[in-house]
């Protein structure tokens, strides 16, 4: 709710003209503002007492940096910030709509599809927030706003003082933030707060939305906290699967709660009948679900019910693939294949490079119908049946992206296939056949050809360089640099998904008893990013060519296949990091850390020498680690090193002409 500026309020802040007050909280005031003729924005100005607290300012600085990375899936987008200003401030998208508590106060508890939509929207926002490494920490109905009927979560992830009281006086509101705090929040400094606390808050928010009261309602903040710690929630008025999910989210122990992505999957699995969602909310939910990196498995005690519901999610969301709209042909010139390494901070999404000359990010497999994926002069695929797929990385690729590879088919009866934006019941396919190039959409019930070009570009055994670029929902295919096909994509639910390669028979051979075959080499999947405005201070080491020595993360080491999957990183002292990226030194930022890594998000499969030199710190860093960087010096077997590194280990990697010759484990205490 807007109110006039007060006499002591500044007329402007950081170039933004302040127009009205939107609210005030424990951390500062929120204003409606605008810069020049730009859109209206919400500006949070930190209170002076916190602006002079260096520890708070340091937290604000580091958390603003992470908040920038939160994609705007049911969240208010972060637009600007200045942690160094005399009164630090944050600028976010202005959501012109009522808050959830205002809607419930005015209209009463929500029900059916409206309640389910709020549950999906808030879970979508948490999936996006947690995927960027941010914890909201103050999710409550006042922080859920409605814009054109779609819920958006605001005020996430920014350092704030702990508030356990409220000025509200009504019995169901007087406890304020306490009513949505997880039990572990009351343990003081002895327990780490994790994203599971936000999932608990989600359960309390949805219970409030569906019943008009908080699930641990009591007459005082202290009594409410005691109920949260010791009593089951009161969910009277909630029914069906949503009530079960809310109860699960309100589990006392963090490890018993689903993660935000798991929660979103379960909600989408319930999305049938009158509880269906569509339009922008469906698109945002699918994009957030598929664009989030999988979390490491966590030990659970009571998560079996969630696993059972997840098992039916694919069947319940099968209708996703049925949406279509008229095709619009748009010509877009695709980018060329990558020739340089990324720069720090430039990549927002997965990036894969694999020569496909050995098992790496693609594996050798066989299927039940006699299809084979093997490695001979590339990823060799063959099948006697209608089609087969050789699965690739588990990562989901979203937004504008490029897929490139060298492709050859065995004969005139075979087609190579690239599956992209594979999101379970729906996906797209690029068919590369001797006489036809075709893009098709495959849903749960039917497959539809979106566009094709009849060009004899794939003769038997002829290797062609294929680039598939996806920009602004237009797929553009080039073969050896020539644009062959442009096609508007038609399914808004497929905003992201996995990529795989496959093979199948050409149209004229589908009824014949033939074995189709194709070979794919030099695969690369990467985001299409705008060029940086200024030359970067540092770039990652290009481990694919020449002779190099650098620190990398090992994503997988297969000694038998003589291959290793690595992610180049920057490995700097805290001082070097802050000098490079012009960060001021505080007690709560990387400047004070011994070592800092900056990830490239680029997974590269490299060959290893027949007998690479392998060393480790073992469990005795004093004896087996060299200074000044603690790199292992004690010899270790390939199998032992693979087990120690797993998918997150750091090594000092030495290459010669793109082949790994040494790997030394890096010890980071």
Residue 297's contacts (CB-CB under 8 Å, 6 or more residues apart) are none
Neighbours of 501 (CB within 10 A): 24
Cα–Cα dist 426/497, whole Å: 9
Q: For residues 415 and 407, give the distance between their C-alpha atoms in angstroms, rounded to a whole number.
A: 10
> Closest Cα to residue 32, out of 1, 62, 7, 57?
1
Closest of 197, 237, 247, 274 to residue 104, by C-alpha: 237
Alpha-carbon gap, residue 349 to 44, rounded angstroms: 29
Burial of 366 per CB tally in 10 Å (0-12, 13-18, 19+): exposed
Question: What is the SS3 assignment for 22?
Answer: strand
Distance CA 233, CA 210 (A): 14
148-161 per-residue burial string, b: 16 or more CB within 10 A, e: under 16: eebbbbbbbbbbbe
Report how far residue 512's alpha carbon sits from residue 504's, in angstroms, rounded to the nearest whole number.
12
The full 3-state SS of 251-285, as one line of letters, equals CCCHHHCCCHHHHHHHHHHCCCHHHCCCHHHHHHH
Dist. CA 333–CA 484, nearest whole Å = 11
Rounded CA separation 607/356 (Å): 10
- Three-state secondary structure string covering 474-518: EEEEEECCEEEEEEECCCCCCCEEEEEEEEEECHHHCCCCCCEEE
The rounded distance, in Å, linking the Cα atoms of 241 and 263 is 12
Residue 143: both structure tokens together: 């922080």
C-alpha distances in angstroms, 256 versus 49, 128, 169, 360, 603? 39, 21, 33, 35, 32
Is 44 marked as a binding-site residue?
A: yes
Helix, strand, coil abundance in the chain, percent, nearest 5: 25, 30, 45
Cβ neighbours for 255, distance < 8 A, ≥ 6 positions apart: 196, 298, 299, 300, 301
| Catalytic entry in 9, 80, 138, 189 | 138
Instruction: Classify 132 as helix, strand or coil.
Output: coil
Of 54, 48, 57, the closest CA to residue 8 belongs to 48
Angstrom CA distances, 506 to 57, 378, 409, stand at 63, 21, 10
Q: Are 284 and 149 in contact (CB under 8 A)?
A: no
| 256 noted as active-site residue | no
Q: How far is it between the farthest Cα atoms of the chain?
A: 85
Q: Which residues are annotated as a binding site?
A: 44
Q: Which residues are annotated as a binding site for ATP?
A: 44
The residues that are catalytic are 138
């Amino acid at each position: 709710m807007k109110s006039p500026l007060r006499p002591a309020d500044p007329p402007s802040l950081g170039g933004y003209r302040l127009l009205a007050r939107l609210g005030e909280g424990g951390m500062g005031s929120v204003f409606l503002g605008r810069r020049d003729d730009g859109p209206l924005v919400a500006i949070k100005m930190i209170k002076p007492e916190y602006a002079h607290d260096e520890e708070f300012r340091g937290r604000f600085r580091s958390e603003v940096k992470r908040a920038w990375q939160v994609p705007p899936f049911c969240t208010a987008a972060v637009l600007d910030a200045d942690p160094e200003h005399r009164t630090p401030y944050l600028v976010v998208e202005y959501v012109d709509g009522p808050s959830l508590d205002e809607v419930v106060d005015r209209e009463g508890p929500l029900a059916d599809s409206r309640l389910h939509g709020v549950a999906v929207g808030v879970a979508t926002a948490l999936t996006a927030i947690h995927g960027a490494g941010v914890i909201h920490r103050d999710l409550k109905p006042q922080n859920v706003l409605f814009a054109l009927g779609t819920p958006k979560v605001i005020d996430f992830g920014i350092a704030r003082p702990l508030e356990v009281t409220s000025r509200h006086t009504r019995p169901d509101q007087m406890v304020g933030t306490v009513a949505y705090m997880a039990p572990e929040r009351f343990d003081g400094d002895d327990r780490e707060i994790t994203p599971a606390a936000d999932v608990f808050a989600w359960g309390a928010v949805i219970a409030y939305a569906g019943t008009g009261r908080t699930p641990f309602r009591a007459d005082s903040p202290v009594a409410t906290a005691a109920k949260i710690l010791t009593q089951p929630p009161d969910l009277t008025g909630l029914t069906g699967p949503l009530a079960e999910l809310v109860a699960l989210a309100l589990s006392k122990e963090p490890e018993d709660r689903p993660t935000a992505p798991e929660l979103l999957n379960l909600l989408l699995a319930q999305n049938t009948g009158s509880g269906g969602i569509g339009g922008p909310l469906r698109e945002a939910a699918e994009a957030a679900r598929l664009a989030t990196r999988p979390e490491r498995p966590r030990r659970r005690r009571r998560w079996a019910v969630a696993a059972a519901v997840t098992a039916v999610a694919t069947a319940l969301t099968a209708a996703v693939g049925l949406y279509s709209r008229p095709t619009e042909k748009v010509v877009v010139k695709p980018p060329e294949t990558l020739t340089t390494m990324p720069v720090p901070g430039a990549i927002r999404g997965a990036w894969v490079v694999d020569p496909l000359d050995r098992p790496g990010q693609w594996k050798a497999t066989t299927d039940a119908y006699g299809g084979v994926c093997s490695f001979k002069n590339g990823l060799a695929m063959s099948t006697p049946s209608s089609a087969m797929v050789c699965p690739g990385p588990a990562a989901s690729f979203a937004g504008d992206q490029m897929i490139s590879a060298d492709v050859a088919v065995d004969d005139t009866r075979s087609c190579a296939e690239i599956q992209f934006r594979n999101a379970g019941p729906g996906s797209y396919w690029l068919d590369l056949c001797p006489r036809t190039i075709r893009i098709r959409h495959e849903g749960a019930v039917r497959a539809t050809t979106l566009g094709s070009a009849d060009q004899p570009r794939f003769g038997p055994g002829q290797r062609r360089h294929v680039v598939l670029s996806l920009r602004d929902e237009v797929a553009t295919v080039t073969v050896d640099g020539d644009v062959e096909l442009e096609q508007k994509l038609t399914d808004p639910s497929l905003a992201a998904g996995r990529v795989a390669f496959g093979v199948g028979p050409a149209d004229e051979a589908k009824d014949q008893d033939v074995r189709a075959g194709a070979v794919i080499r030099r695969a690369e999947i990467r985001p299409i990013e705008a060029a940086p405005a200024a030359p970067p201070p540092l770039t990652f080491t290009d481990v694919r060519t020449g002779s190099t020595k650098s620190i990398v993360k090992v994503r997988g080491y297969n000694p038998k296949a003589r291959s290793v999957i690595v992610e180049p990183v920057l490995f700097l002292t805290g001082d070097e990091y802050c000098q490079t990226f012009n960060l001021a030194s505080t007690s709560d930022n990387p400047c004070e850390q011994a070592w800092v890594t900056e990830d490239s998000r680029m997974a590269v499969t490299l060959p290893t020498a027949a007998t690479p030199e392998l060393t480790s710190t073992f469990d005795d860093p004093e004896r087996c680690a060299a200074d000044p960087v603690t790199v292992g010096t004690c010899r270790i077997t390939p199998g032992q090193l693979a087990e120690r590194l797993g998918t997150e280990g750091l090594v000092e990697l030495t290459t010669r002409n793109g082949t790994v010759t040494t790997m030394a484990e890096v010890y980071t205490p």
